[in-house]
Amino acid sequence: MFFHIVLERNMQLHPRHFGPNLRDKLVAKLMKDVEGTCSGRHGFVVAITGVDNIGKGLIRDGTGFVTFPVKYQCVVFRPFKGEILEAVVTMVNKMGFFAEAGPVQIFVSNHLIPDDMEFQSGDMPNYTTSDGSVCFGAWLPLALNFCIGTIKDDFLGVINDPGAAA
């Protein structure tokens, strides 16, 4: 699930960057350091949308570096256990399949796929029910459990819309 939250970070800047563009350099460094990272608490930082406040810089003892506390807004992707979301299947094999939801990779094991779905190997490996009626190699809603997913629940599995192949 995507959230828009405010985070805070202490940025260290070398004195060679001081000057009229100090703020721009700080923001650029923030973006470079933080965007694309992932933490257990906040999930993936997808994009920084704005900088709220840059506090007073503090010179560090022993070095010439200055630390600025920066408060910024960003979009994060933080999956939760028990969350239902849509994902794109990326790889299918007899142990189960891998899917991607945004930046996060999910594995759905054989054991968490309904029993009436069987693995079919071949050019386009997939899982099909015995009467051939339901088959996915495309996208499906899954329930998240520490990025292990399951489709063994009501309304999980194939999405009704006819879809493009993964």
Partner 1 sequence: MSGEEEENAAELKIGDEFLKAKCLMNCEVALILDRKYEQLQQMSDDPMNQVSQVFEKSLQYVKRFSRYKNPDAVRQVREILSRYQLAEFELCVLGNLCPETVEEAIAMVPSIKTRGRMHDDDQIEKMLTDLSLIKKFE
The binding site for partner 1 (CB under 8 A) comprises 1-5, 35-38, 40-41, 43-47, 49, 75, 77-86, 88, 100-103, 141, 143-144, 146-147, 153-155, 160
Which residue lies nearer to partner 1 by CB, 22 or 88?
A: 88
User: Closest approach of Cβ 137 to partner 1, in Å?
Assistant: 16
Kindly state the tokens that stand for 14.
């070398």
Closest CA to 79 of 142, 9, 30, 26: 142
Distance from C-alpha of 144 to C-alpha of 150, rounded to nearest angstrom: 7
Q: Least distance from C-beta 75 to partner 1, angstroms?
A: 6
C-beta of 66 vs 79, nearer to partner 1: 79
Cβ neighbours of residue 16 under 8 Å, at least 6 residues apart?
none
CA 5 to the chain's CA centroid: 15
Min dist. Cβ of residue 102 to partner 1 (A) = 4
Residues 6+ apart with CB under 8 A from 27: 51
Q: What is the smallest separation between the CB atom of 122 and partner 1, expressed in angstroms? A: 25
